Every structure is written in C-alpha cells, then in structure tokens.
C-alpha cells in the first residue's frame, strides 16, 4: 500500500517541480522513498524534512511527511503537512484526499466532506474515501446524502458487509425502516456473525413494532457478544420489555447493561425512563443527572429529568429542563412548555 501511494504522486509532481531543485535534494528524496518502503519511517521522515528544508515548494515531500505522521496517528502534524502540500499544488486529488482523511480523524467532519469533494473533482475516489465522506455526513446529520456515498462504496465493492450496515443505519435515521432492514439483511448475509448487524436488525424490528422478531435477534446477539457488544444488546432488550409494558424486566436489562458500563449515558437515561414508570422519581432524577454529566447535550435526559422534577413538585426546574430539551430538538417538550404546568 505504501509503494502504491508514493508512486501515484511521484510521477505527476516531478513534471511541475523537477527543474527547481538540486540533484542532491532529488537524491535525498529517492533515499527517503527507499527508507519509507523498507519500513524505516523515522529515517524516511528525517530525509523528507531535509528535502522541504532545501526546497520549501517540494510538494511530494510534504505529502509523504503527512503520510508518515498519519500512520503514527499524529493527525495534527499530518494535516499541517498536507496543507503545506496543498499550498504548492492545488490540482492533485491525493493531496485533497489526504487532507480530508486528517480532518476526519480530528473530528472536523464538515472539512472532511469539503476536501473529499475537492479531491473527487480531480479524480475518482476509492471505496474507503467514499466511506470517509459517508460517515462524515452521518456525523453531520446529512443522512440522505450519506446513503448516496455508501452506495458509491457498494458499487465498488458489493461484498463488504460494513457498507450495507452503515447505509442501513443512515436509512434508519431517516425513518425508512424497510430500506434499513433490507441493508441489514444483506449485511447479515455477508457476515452472519456480525454483532452490529444483529443489533441493528433487532433495533429496526422494534421500530417497526415487531417485538418478537426483535427479541429473537437480541438473544442471538447476546449469546455470542463481547461485554462491550452486550451493552447495546441489553439496551435493546430493555427497550423490548419497555415497549411491551414489562417495566420490571426492562429495568433488569438496563441494570445488567449498567453493570457492564457505568459511564454509558444512554443506559442511565433508559434507567431513568423506567424508574419514572415505576414512580421512583428521585431515582430517575439522579440517573438523569449522571447521564447529563457524561453527555451534557442529551435531549432525552433533559426531558426525562423534567418529568421527574414535575413529579417531585419542582415545577420551575421541570420547565427549565423541558425548555433545554426543546432547544436540543425535542418536539414533545414543546407541548409540555405550552401546557398549564409551565404557562402558570
């Protein structure tokens, strides 16, 4: 993979800059390439840095430095050098794509999408590049566009279960449960042991009101899951029981998940929701506080804490919680804010 990446940008770049640098710098670059391909990254990095010190317009040296830092997961330095490469050549797709990858790992998803689109204008993207774009769009909440990029990755590799599973998640967020289910089915056909696809099948079954099918997938998933994977499945198990009105078993499932992961805001919020059903409002209030400590922008926890506060006769605090839940996107919270509870 390293050699392929180097050869892609070595050939066109020399056409722009070969005549501007000394023979010694060119030889230094060739030695750096040899060291890099031999796996001697530290040695290669030092020589590539010497190249850009000798010639600050040495685009391909900057890009190779970026690749080396990227492999070391030093994404700040990787980005810095890819941007330096971009300053000297704005017509090479590999530079835009490398920049986008750095931004992705720095969790700057809008920049990831921007630079991937720039890169695609100078050449076709690979399946992994489409995946970077699609997952960034998911993080940005642009689920419709994300499905298109997942689709492009699938066109290039129709046998990758991950792509179907990820696209199914995007369809799920759009409320298009039939399309989500079809993708999860495909993912399971390609990888029957995929715990995430099994959990997703359970989740979409719950959303479609097919509780029994959901439980079948939940039990199947739990039987072969790691502790980390069990947490998500136990959440779904709790959701199943909550949907059927069995709050005692729902509480047991959420509590089991909590024993495995005590810093999971979703588990804490779901525990609070069940405690409200069981009329343990003080317990629900405390669980919501713990959830918000972990995830301060958790809309559902504000809403549930509002319910708990109302039942504890803390009406002013309840209305403040519902107001915050509304600001974060809760439509039902608006109904509570406009009710006599808060208007008075």
Residues 200-224: pLDDT tens digits? 999 999 899 898 899 899 888 888 7
CATH topology identical between 125-192 and 269-344: yes
Q: Which two tokens stand for residue 198?
A: 């099994």
Predicted confidence (pLDDT) at residue 7 exceeds the cutoff of 80: no
SS3 sequence of 116-154:
HHHHHCCCCCCHHHHHHHHHHHHHCCCHHHHHHHHHHHH
How high is the pLDDT of residue 325? 94
| Closest C-alpha to 193, from 171, 159, 217, 172 | 217
How high is the pLDDT of residue 344? 66
Give the mean model confidence (pLDDT) for residues 85-103: 93
Per-residue CA distances from 265 to 133, 254, 268, 270, 272 (Å): 27, 12, 5, 9, 11
The architecture of the domain spanning 1-114 is Alpha Horseshoe (1.25)
Indicate the CATH number for domain 125-192: 1.25.40.10
CA 333 to centroid of chain Cα atoms: 27
- What integer best gives the mean pLDDT of the chain? 90
Predicted confidence (pLDDT) at residue 91 exceeds the cutoff of 90: no
Query: What pTM does this model have?
Result: 0.77
Indicate the CATH number for domain 269-344: 1.25.40.10
Domain assignments of the chain as residue spans, ordered by start: 1-114, 125-192, 269-344
Q: How confident is the model at residue 13 (pLDDT cuts 50, 70, 90)?
A: very low
């Amino acid at each position: 993979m390293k050699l392929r990446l180097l050869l892609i940008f070595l050939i066109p770049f020399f056409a722009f800059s070969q005549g501007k640098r000394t023979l010694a710098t060119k030889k230094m670059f060739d030695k750096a390439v040899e060291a890099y391909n031999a796996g001697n990254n530290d040695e290669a990095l030092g020589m590539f840095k010497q190249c850009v010190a000798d010639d600050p317009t040495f685009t391909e040296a900057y890009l190779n430095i970026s690749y080396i830092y990227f492999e070391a997961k030093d994404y700040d330095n990787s980005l810095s050098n890819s941007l330096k490469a971009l300053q000297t050549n704005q017509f090479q797709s590999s530079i835009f794509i490398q920049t986008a990858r750095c931004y992705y790992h720095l969790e700057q998803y809008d920049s990831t999408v921007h630079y991937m689109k720039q890169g695609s204008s100078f050449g076709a993207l690979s399946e992994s590049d489409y995946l970077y774009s699609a997952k960034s769009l998911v993080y940005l909440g642009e689920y419709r566009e994300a499905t298109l990029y997942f689709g492009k990755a699938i066109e290039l590799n129709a046998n990758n279960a991950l792509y179907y599973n990820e696209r199914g998640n995007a369809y799920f967020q759009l409320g298009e449960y039939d399309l989500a289910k079809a993708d999860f089915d495909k993912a399971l056909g390609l990888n029957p042991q995929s715990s995430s696809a099994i959990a997703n099948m359970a989740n979409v079954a719950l959303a479609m009101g097919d509780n029994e099918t959901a439980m079948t997938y939940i039990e199947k998933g739990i039987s072969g899951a790691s502790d980390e994977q069990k947490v998500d499945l136990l959440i779904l198990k709790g959701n199943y029981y909550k949907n059927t009105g069995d709050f005692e078993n729902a509480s047991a499932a959420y509590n089991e998940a909590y024993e495995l992961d005590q810093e999971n805001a979703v588990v804490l919020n779901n525990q609070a929701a069940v405690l409200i059903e069981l009329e343990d409002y003080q317990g629900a209030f405390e669980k919501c506080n713990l959830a918000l400590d972990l995830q301060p922008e958790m809309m559902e926890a504000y809403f549930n804490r509002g319910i708990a506060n109302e039942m504890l006769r803390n009406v002013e605090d309840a209305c403040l919680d519902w107001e915050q839940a509304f600001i974060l996107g809760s439509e039902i919270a608006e109904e509570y804010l406009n009710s006599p509870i808060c208007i008075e």
